């Protein structure tokens, strides 16, 4: 299933004017606060009526202002997971998740048990939302949205109200959802770490306009996107398979670029993980460094050197089929004479690779 | 208990309870509707409706009673219509007392319900819509359950106010023992005769007891319901 969105709307001195397509998987809408992300999601849900636009899911039209079509929210069948959960306080968890399913006419009743298991909320079914932790609330909200049998899931910063511990509690459930259901998911976030972990497609938004859009790995390793993510959050993602857990507490992961050693990851040998390497954690050397404490040294070729406003440059490197980004100072770039085509070695400290929890990804994708 | 009150006094108490009960029950649906309109909708004449609803609160009750008599009396436009078409007579009947009590208590009921409606997070209603609930379903499954404490508080408040209504009632339906003599009218009648103070006092005590019981009950029920819907 694919969703196509084309919207234009004005509120005061802010205007929204964008078009994008969301293929199956997680499409992340990324942009700073006030970029217009929530307005896009609300327009898709029918909670905001844009001045003009067209939205369709697999050819079924939800909105077409040119033809005066605007399907009301309750008939759109889009599951919406809000930032604050919005569970019904007067209903139990069981009644909350039954709510959408009931209006969907009990389609797919057998799903309920599977989704309750998938979200790990079997133990809290008879409790009321007021007694749940933030993470539990969001998992219930997810289950409720999925069980309304939507054609598409909308998630508006579903993790931003949670602290880091709760975030890492919910993230694996989102990954399982992405990998185990065929639903397209539109995921709004201003956290680069979240989208690096979840997104299959990324749409960058600023001031109501699209800056860049494409497959996650491509956008994250594009130096041109560096300005949107910011110097501390820019980083490429690699897909790697867990090859071994060593006795000294490290795990070996095989990426196309070569072997990487990380502090022991919570995954089985053979699992495929998505790891994010922040540009600021990558050092470059012309010769293969010897006698160095960093464990991960990947031979690479420079593809692009992009200067930004600050004292640093972003260097895009390829190693086999993988692409990584490195942020180095202009001075170092000049000293090494970094230019496209140059062969270099990227040095990555093992501990910095594992700074975020590596994300799980099904090998089938 | 029957020794404590003479049969006519007993009659006044029962009549007051009956009048107040029906006044409360029949005005409740309209009260919820008007409160919803005032809290949620923007329409032409909203301020006029708001003013009309609150008018009985600030008008001299005798004026409200007189206006009711003009409208619903046997010679009044609506009164004539009701009698000709439905055979319903309100003037000088207990039903008229119920109408007067309902009109007088209406502002209190609407206020209580409106306040609780304004406290409902519209985001929950949006969430219900995204889950497939049409507007009427959202109202029935989310909005009404959430405003239940306010509805109960408003209803009990209206009941208590109806129990105490005097001015509009006596103007509209007079003070006929066994017909329209409610508790306050009976107290008033006792105070008009020399030596009636003792009789009046017993009814005053009942009045106070009923009013206090209503207030305490309303507090208690709203709190219990509020706890239930707070999600804990």
Task: Give per-residue pLDDT as tens, A36-52.
Answer: 888 999 999 999 999 99
Residue B232 neighbours by CB distance under 10 Å: 11
- The residues on B that touch A, with CB distances below 8 Å, are 121, 123-124, 126-135, 137, 141-142, 145-146, 228-232
Q: How far apart are CA B46 and CA B34, in angstroms?
A: 10
Q: What does the pLDDT look like over B180-198, one tens digit per residue?
A: 888 888 888 888 888 888 8
Helix intervals (H) in A154-294: 164-180, 192-198, 216-220, 226-229
Q: What is the pLDDT of residue A365?
A: 36
Cα four-point dihedral sign A323, A326, A330, A331: negative
Q: Which residues of chain A have pLDDT under 70?
A: 106-110, 350-365
Of all residues in chain A, the one with the smallest CA distance to B230 is A89
Contacts of B132 in chain A (CB under 8 A): 74-75, 77, 100, 103-104, 148
Q: How far apart are CA B173 and CA B181, in angstroms?
A: 9
Q: How far apart are CA A309 and CA A268, in angstroms?
A: 43
Contacts of B137 in chain A (CB under 8 A): 74, 103
What's the rounded mean pLDDT across residues B88-116?
Answer: 88
Q: pTM for the complete prediction?
A: 0.81
Q: What is the pLDDT of residue A360?
A: 67
Q: What is the pLDDT of residue A363?
A: 45
Q: How far apart are CA A44 and CA A6, in angstroms?
A: 10
Q: How far apart are CA B47 and CA B83, in angstroms?
A: 32
Q: How far apart are CA A361 and CA A351, in angstroms?
A: 21
Contacts of A147 in chain B (CB under 8 A): none
Residues B151, B154, B156, B157: what is their CA dihedral angle, to the nearest 10 degrees? 170
Q: How far is A31 from chain B (nearest CA, A)?
A: 23
Contact A103 B137 (CB under 8 A): yes
Burial A178-217 (b: 16+ CB within 10 A, else e): beebebbbbbbbbbbbbbbbbbbbbbbbbebebbbbeebb
Q: How far is A48 from chain B (nearest CA, A)?
A: 11
User: What is the β-pairing status of strands A250-255 and A69-70?
Assistant: unpaired
Cα four-point dihedral sign A227, A228, A231, A236: negative
What 3-state DSSP class applies to A322?
Answer: strand
Average pLDDT, chain B: 87
Contact A148 B142 (CB under 8 A): no
ipTM above 0.90, yes or no: no
Q: How far apart are CA A275 and CA A241, in angstroms?
A: 10
Contact B127 A103 (CB under 8 A): no
Q: What is the pLDDT of residue A364?
A: 40
Asked if residue A159 lies in contact with residue A171, where contact means CB atoms within 8 angstroms, the answer is: yes
Q: How far apart are CA A117 and CA A125, in angstroms?
A: 11
Looking up tokens 């993470």, which residue turns up?
A: A135
Q: What is the pLDDT of residue A108?
A: 54
Return the higher-pLDDT residue of B90 and A351.
B90
Q: What is the pLDDT of residue A302?
A: 92
Asked if residue A242 lies in contact with residue A233, where contact means CB atoms within 8 angstroms, the answer is: no
The 8-class DSSP code of residue A53 comes to: E
Q: What does the pLDDT look like over B13-49, one tens digit per residue?
A: 888 999 999 999 999 999 999 999 999 888 888 899 9
CB pairs under 8 A between A and B: 74
Residues A47, B120, A125, A154: what is their CA dihedral angle, to the nearest 10 degrees? 10
């Amino acid at each position: 299933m694919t969703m196509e969105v084309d919207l234009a709307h004005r509120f005061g001195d802010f205007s929204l004017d964008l078009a994008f397509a969301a293929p199956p998987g997680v499409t992340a809408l990324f942009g700073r606060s006030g970029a217009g992300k929530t307005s896009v999601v609300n327009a898709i849900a029918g909670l905001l009526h844009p001045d003009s636009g067209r939205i369709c899911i697999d050819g079924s039209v939800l909105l077409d202002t040119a033809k005066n079509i605007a399907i009301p929210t309750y008939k759109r069948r889009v599951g919406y997971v809000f930032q604050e959960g919005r569970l019904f306080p007067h209903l139990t968890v069981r009644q909350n998740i039954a709510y959408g399913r009931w209006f969907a006419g009990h389609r797919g009743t057998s799903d309920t048990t599977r989704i309750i298991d998938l979200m790990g909320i079997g133990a809290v079914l008879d409790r009321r939302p007021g007694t749940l932790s933030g993470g539990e609330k969001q998992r219930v909200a997810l289950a409720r949205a999925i069980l309304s049998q939507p054609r598409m899931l909308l998630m508006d910063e579903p993790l931003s109200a949670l602290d880091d511990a709760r975030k890492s509690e919910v993230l694996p459930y989102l990954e399982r959802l992405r990998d185990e259901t065929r639903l397209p998911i539109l995921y709004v976030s201003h956290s680069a770490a979240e989208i690096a972990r979840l997104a299959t497609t990324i749409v960058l938004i600023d001031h109501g306009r699209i800056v860049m859009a494409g497959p996650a790995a491509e956008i994250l390793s594009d130096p041109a996107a560096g300005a949107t993510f910011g110097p501390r959050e820019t980083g490429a993602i690699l897909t790697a398979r867990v090859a071994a857990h060593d006795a000294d507490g490290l795990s070996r992961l095989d990426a196309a670029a070569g072997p990487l050693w990380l502090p022991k990851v919570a995954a089985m040998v053979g699992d495929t993980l998505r790891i994010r390497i922040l540009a600021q954690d990558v050092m470059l050397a012309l010769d293969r460094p010897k006698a160095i404490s960093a464990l991960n040294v990947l031979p690479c070729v420079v593809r692009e050197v992009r200067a930004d406003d600050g004292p640093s440059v972003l260097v895009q490197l390829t190693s086999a089929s993988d692409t990584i980004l490195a942020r180095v100072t202009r001075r170092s770039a000049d000293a090494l004479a970094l230019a496209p085509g140059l062969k270099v070695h990227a040095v990555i400290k093992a501990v910095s690779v594992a700074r975020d929890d590596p994300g799980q990804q099904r090998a089938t994708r | 208990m029957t020794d404590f009150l003479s049969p006519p006094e007993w009659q006044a108490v029962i009549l007051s309870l009956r009048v107040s009960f029906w006044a409360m029950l029949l005005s409740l649906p309209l009260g919820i509707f008007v409160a919803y309109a005032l809290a949620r909708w923007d329409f032409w004449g909203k301020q006029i409706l708001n003013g009309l609803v609150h008018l009985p609160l600030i008008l001299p009750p005798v004026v409200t009673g007189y206006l009711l008599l003009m409208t619903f009396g046997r010679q009044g436009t609506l009164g004539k219509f009701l009698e000709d078409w439905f055979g319903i007579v309100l003037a000088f009947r207990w039903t008229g007392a119920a109408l007067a009590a309902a009109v007088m208590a209406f502002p209190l009921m609407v206020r209580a319900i409106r306040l609780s409606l304004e406290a409902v997070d519209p985001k929950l209603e949006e969430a219900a819509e995204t889950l497939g609930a049409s507007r009427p379903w959202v109202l029935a499954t989310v909005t009404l359950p959430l405003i239940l404490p306010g509805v109960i508080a408003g209803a009990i408040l209206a009941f208590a106010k109806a129990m105490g209504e005097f001015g509009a009632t006596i103007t509209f339906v007079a003070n006929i023992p066994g017909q329209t003599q409610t508790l306050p009218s009976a107290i008033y009648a006792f105070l008009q005769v020399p030596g009636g103070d003792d009789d009046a006092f017993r009814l005053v005590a009942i009045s106070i007891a009923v009013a206090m019981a209503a207030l305490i009950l309303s507090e208690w029920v709203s709190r219990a319901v509020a706890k239930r819907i707070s999600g804990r």
